[in-house]
């Protein structure tokens, strides 16, 4: 089966390509800087291009290009069997519902909302462009502990290996962390056979800064400093009933995964 992964050099994209190749698929990985090939059938497109971390605070034009402009070009000019657009579950923060049917609110003067608005615009183009078999996934904070990973838990784990971890985030702040392997195993299934238009991919469980700190301390013996210098953030856990019901999804415990990996490194 043919897949095309846009953003194959990114955190999710790179892992996704590896999984698809191992599973015996043909995988195209076009360079986003090259002119789009409008003559090749791209098969099942998975669009992983995005601006992450704090880059959106200073690179607004790059955000719009990644989340809106380029996906619009793909939808308008390319031939494919299906297209799956990776959005972000961070947009649910502050809402009372985290189901895929939630209605979002945003302020055009808020820089954090700027990121959300760009993702929502990208989603809206994908879902309303009139092209068949287009879907959206809203992904929570994906985690793995590979040595080159830049996700929050991996960075803190490397600090722990050096003997001390300092947390700026409030100890009671929480996020929904989902294992990267769980994400990349679900993406092709949704792309090929998803019955819905929008899906959440998350663990459905919030993990606090304090829980991460305690895990690192117990597994590595490092010292931990909790500064509580950031405001406490307590979003609701992400609703994953849709992927549970349709795909039988059972999320891996990120804490259990991290504990196993850290203890293995100690041996």
DSSP secondary structure string, 72-141? HHHHHH-B-SEEEEEEEGGGGTT-S--STTPPP---TT-HHHHHHHHHHHHHHHHHHSS-SSEEEEEE-E
Does the structure show a pLDDT above 90 at 256?
yes
Is 100 inside any structural domain? Answer: yes
44 and 68 fall within a common domain: yes
Which pLDDT score is estimated for 6?
96
CATH code, domain carrying 214 = 3.90.25.10
Average pLDDT, the chain: 94
Specify whether 103 is located in the same domain as 124: yes
- Residues 169 and 77 reside in one and the same domain: no
pLDDT for position 98: 97
Residue 221 lies in a domain: yes
Asked if residue 6 belongs to a domain, the reply is yes
CA 11 to chain centroid: 9
Q: Could you tell me the two tokens for 17?
A: 């390509």
- With a cut of 90, say whether residue 259 has pLDDT above it: yes
pLDDT of residue 112: 81
* Structural domains counted in the chain: 2
Domain span at residue 16 reads 2-141+176-201
Question: Considering the domain boundaries, does residue 248 fall inside one?
Answer: no
User: Contact at 8 Å (CB) between 19 and 43?
Assistant: no
Residues 145-195 have pLDDT tens digits of: 998 888 999 999 999 999 999 999 999 999 999 999 999 999 999 999 999
**Structure letter (DSSP) for residue 160:** H
Residue 98 lies in a domain: yes
Q: What is the pLDDT of residue 123?
A: 97
Q: Please state, in angstroms and rounded to a whole number, the distance separating the CA atoms of residues 27 and 81.
A: 14
| Domain membership flag for residue 42 | yes
Band of pLDDT at residue 267, cut at 50, 70 and 90 = low
Q: What is the pLDDT of residue 3?
A: 98
**Which pTM value belongs to this model?**
0.94
30: helix, strand or coil: coil
The domain that contains 94 carries what CATH number?
A: 3.40.50.720
Q: How confident is the model at residue 266 (pLDDT cuts 50, 70, 90)?
A: low
| Cα angle value 30/36/37 (rounded, 5°) | 85
Mean pLDDT value of segment 11-40 = 90
Which whole number is the average pLDDT over 13-42? Answer: 90
113 and 150 in a single domain? The answer is no
Residue 245 in domain: no
**8 A C-beta contact, residue 186 and residue 243:** yes
| pLDDT tens-place string over residues 44-103 | 999 999 987 667 778 899 999 999 999 999 999 999 999 999 999 999 998 999 999 999
Task: Say if residues 238 and 100 touch (Cβ distance below 8 Å).
Answer: no
Provide the pLDDT for residue 118. Answer: 94
């Amino acid at each position: 089966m043919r897949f095309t992964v846009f953003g194959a050099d990114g955190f999710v994209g790179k892992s996704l390509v590896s999984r698809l190749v191992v599973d015996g698929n043909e995988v195209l990985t076009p360079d986003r800087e090259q002119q789009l090939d409008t003559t090749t059938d791209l098969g099942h497109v998975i669009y992983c291009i995005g601006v992450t971390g704090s880059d959106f605070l200073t690179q607004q034009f790059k955000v719009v290009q990644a989340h809106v402009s380029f996906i619009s070009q793909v939808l308008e000019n390319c031939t494919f069997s299906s297209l799956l657009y990776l959005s972000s579950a961070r947009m649910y923060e502050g809402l009372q519902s985290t189901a895929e049917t939630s209605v979002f609110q945003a302020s055009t003067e808020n820089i954090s909302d700027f990121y959300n608005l760009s993702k929502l615009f990208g989603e809206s183009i994908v879902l309303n462009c009139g092209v068949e078999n287009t879907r959206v996934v809203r992904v929570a904070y994906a985690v793995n502990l590979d040595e080159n990973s830049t996700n929050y838990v991996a960075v803190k784990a490397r600090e722990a290996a050096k003997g001390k971890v300092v947390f700026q985030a409030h100890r009671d702040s929480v996020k929904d962390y989902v294992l990267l392997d769980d994400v990349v195993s679900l993406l092709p299934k949704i792309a090929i056979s998803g019955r819905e238009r929008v899906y959440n991919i998350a663990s459905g469980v919030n993990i606090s800064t304090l829980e991460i700190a305690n895990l690192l301390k117990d597994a590595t013996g490092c010292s931990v400093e909790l500064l509580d210098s950031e405001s406490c953030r307590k979003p609701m856990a992400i609703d994953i009933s849709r992927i549970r019901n349709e795909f039988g999804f059972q999320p891996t415990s990120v804490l259990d995964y991290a504990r196993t990996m850290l203890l293995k490194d100690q041996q």
